Amino acid sequence: MDLGTRPIRTAGRGSGSVEVTLPAGLRPLVGLPCRILLHDGAQPDIVVRPDLSGARTAFARLWRLACQALLTCPAPAWPCDHFSFALQPFWHGAALPGLAWQDGLALAAGAATAASTARCAAACAHIAADEHDIAAALAPDFAAACGFLLAGERLFPQWHEGCDLAASALCADPAWRPGDAWRRHPDWREEALWQALRPGLAAITSVFARWSRPGSDHPALQAAWRRGRSVELTQG
């Protein structure tokens, strides 16, 4: 990724401080210790490598808490290689579920919002879907519904279909209360948050496991949702 050209300058004579103005997109890295590497030679490179160990630790801890809520059993070791990573939040689609370092740093700093926590929890749910016999094709929508339950909002446009179908199937279920657990326990480190989410997660899991069986009504529901969405866009 080419972030453009920035001048190197000093903060003052004798201070020893050298500064580079970085793009605003790197603001989440402010205050983070970085290792500076110089690759010498005919075309020298200066590499700034941030210390993301705190974010990695936070991801592993959230993985454990989310899996305990989803699987109701001790979580396996954090499968780091099963995720894709980027600096800022992104939608991963059917590929490897994505984690954003920006969210991980917020988790580590105790500054995580419902949105940042839900994005990470949704990525964990995507990985855990296979343990519940949820079809791989439905794993992204399952993850979206789990994230919606936590955040109380659809954080990516691509979440709409899965969340709407889950909501229609669970509208009469008292466990389906998106955002309620976070409002009562707004800290991802609290066991109480994950305990409060457990009934809703179990309900979502049951629905998507049923939809994963041969002959389920999911394709018909999906087609009806897309027809309705097409009408909305046409009339809008």
| Contact yes or no for 208/142 (Cβ under 8 A) | yes
The pLDDT score that the predictor gives to residue 109 is: 94
pLDDT of 207 > 80? The answer is: yes
**Helix H segments across the chain?**
53-71, 101-108, 114-128, 139-151, 160-170, 180-184, 191-211, 218-235
Please give the share of the chain, as a percent, with pLDDT higher than 90.
Answer: 70
pLDDT in tens, 111-130: 999 999 999 999 999 999 99
pLDDT of residue 232: 63
pLDDT digits 0-9 by tens, 145-188: 999 999 999 999 999 999 999 999 999 999 999 999 999 999 99
Please say if the pLDDT value at position 14 is more than 90: no
First to last CA, the chain: 37
Q: b/e map of 104-119 (b: 16 or more CB within 10 Å)? A: bbbbbeeebebbbbbb
- Residue 234 confidence class, pLDDT cut points 50, 70, 90: low
Tell me the average pLDDT across 202-216: 97
pLDDT, tens digit (0-9, with 9 covering 90-100), for 50-105: 999 999 999 999 999 999 999 877 788 999 999 999 999 988 777 789 999 999 99
State pTM to two decimals. 0.89
As a dihedral over the C-alpha atoms of residue 65, residue 204, residue 83, residue 183, rounded to 10 degrees, the angle is -50
Please determine, for residue 235, whether its predicted confidence score (pLDDT) is greater than 80: no
Digit-coded pLDDT (tens) for 33-64: 989 899 999 999 888 889 999 999 999 999 99
Does residue 31 surpass a pLDDT of 90?
no
3-state secondary structure of 20: strand
Q: Is 7 left (phi over 0), alpha (psi -120 to 50) or beta?
A: beta
Q: Is 153 helix (H, G, I), strand (E, B) or coil?
A: coil
Using pLDDT thresholds of 50, 70 and 90, give the confidence band for residue 141. very high
Question: What are the residues whose beta carbons fall under 8 Å from the beta carbon of 15, sequence distance 6 or more?
Answer: none
Residues making up the chain, counted from first to last = 236
Q: How far is CA 13 from CA 18, 85, 92, in A?
A: 10, 39, 47
Instruction: State the chain's mean pLDDT as an integer.
Output: 91
